[in-house]
Structure 1
């Protein structure tokens, strides 16, 4: 049984909580970037579904989970710089990067800003930032508050409205997902994440992303309509599009179904 390496490091004075699941270092390690407000434990089902030999790196952005909030709001370029320095400190020359939802924006920024650090890119349930095809208004209103990350019972109650797909029938999975978080994060940290997304778009630089990219999207996603995945796949030069029947968080709730698609792509 593998042991986990769970601790913090400092990047330019900012403490970052991270986790490394050791694997075969002859394979490219996989960096996971979480959705808005979510600590890295939320992605545990996806980690469990990966090959045990796959090395996996997870982290909490400032103000989320176990990473304390910084004094000022940050931008995606600033966060990408932090992640690049974190990987350097951990001794990784190159990684594959998977970004879910808000984390997909960070993954896009990292791929174009630090292109030598990223070998392949996987974008799940994500879009191009402030210039995107918007989700349903009722859903976006619910997204303004971080309550679902701090109150698992509330999260289960709004799961179907927010996430669609399997969350409509398996609210208990959503409750369990958020209960796994060791730390709920701060309201100010959540606000900083909202601000980062509201002032960023990848549309001007999608054509500059050189890495092979897999874009995954569900056909029942109230937050990120599938049209956004088509835009990403159409503008990223070496992109493949994979559409699945499901919602926004199938990577977590239906990991055994989606993770093999991702693993096959990364193994090419």
Structure 2
């Protein structure tokens, strides 16, 4: 495999500030992929975050990342052609997973915990199918399986909310990720204040080419005939999280995942949507930590050498 790992630098565990966490780079298949590391060193496997459609590393919620990093090393991964990563953006989930696998191999990560949000959740499902030995446990948030219900409506949902965003002067993510209730609207406005605040290595937004490629990948994933055998072959424990009214990946898809993954746990949050785990970050981190907790994990199990 064409991979080359550069010297890995430790995150500043004395000051868990995601907004000042610098980019690091690793060469995979001839291109440089960007990532960030933050978190307290522990005996827990590294938790790798897989981002949503068009999202860069700057689009991760600072509050959520820092809460997760309080008890474990967290690795924020960026696929090809997005943000600070080089290369052509992949236009299929399988190719995104291929780059992710090369990324993990380049960092010599033999066992991780994975958190996939939205499109990132599809990538994690593919990773579990391709290289199950790499993943100890997985968390899938706001996502769906192949053949997911409602994914054919995703372009029109985004178009409608984009129009509403322009008319009401409200950030698009606040409308797409949160419910249209008093609490949901406030949660959305609070969320957008916690993203895109990086003071070190701030990133450009997704290019039109990246948007087009990722849209094709995610919609194609949803329109592909259901493949329940892929889900039923997952042997790892999986925590599935969503809001009760997800516009991007309709909530019924979380239940479908729960039905077909043998060792699945399902948690649905009230009055929330696609960004449920941002809105209920304290509850989510508590559940995630309990789910990921495991006695007897060796100190080197899934750790990046620092």
Most deviating of 154-163 and 17-26: 154-163
Q: 1:35 to 1:113 in 2, by over 3 A?
A: same
Equivalent pair of 2:80/2:90 in contact (CA under 8 Å): no
Equivalent pair of 1:207/1:236 in contact (CA under 8 Å): yes
Residue number among 227, 240, 244 corresponding to 1:203 in the alignment: 227
Aligned: 1:66 with 2:84: yes
- TM-score (norm: length of structure 1): 0.86
Structure 2 match to 1:180: 197
RMSD: 2.8
Equivalent pair of 2:243/2:274 in contact (CA under 8 Å): yes
Unaligned residue ranges in structure 2 (runs of 5+): 1-13, 295-306
CA shift for structure 1 position 24 = 2.4
Most deviating of 223-232 and 173-182: 173-182
- TM-score (norm: length of structure 2): 0.76
Q: Distance in 2 between matches of 1:173 and 1:48?
A: 16
Structure 1 match to 2:70: 52
Residue-by-residue CA offset, 1:32-70 (whole Å, 9 max, x unaligned): 111111112322322111252300011212222212341
- SS of corresponding position for 1:189: helix
Unaligned residue ranges in structure 1 (runs of 5+): none
Q: 1:39 to 1:154 in 2, by over 3 A?
A: farther
Residue-by-residue CA offset, 1:134-188 (whole Å, 9 max, x unaligned): 1695x6425369979xx9x956266235532754223422432443362212110
Equivalent pair of 1:21/1:56 in contact (CA under 8 Å): yes
Aligned: 1:14 with 2:14: no
CA shift for structure 1 position 252 = 2.2
Q: Distance in 1 between matches of 2:157 and 2:195?
A: 16
- SS of corresponding position for 2:53: coil
Q: 1:160 to 1:212 in 2, by over 3 A?
A: same
Equivalent pair of 1:22/1:54 in contact (CA under 8 Å): yes
Task: Give the alignment of 1:24-103 within 5 angstroms.
Answer: 24-43=41-60, 44-70=62-88, 73-103=90-120
Structure 1 match to 2:301: none
- The structure with the largest alpha-carbon Rg is 2
Residue-by-residue CA offset, 1:245-265 (whole Å, 9 max, x unaligned): 121112223312211111110
CA shift for structure 1 position 87 = 1.5
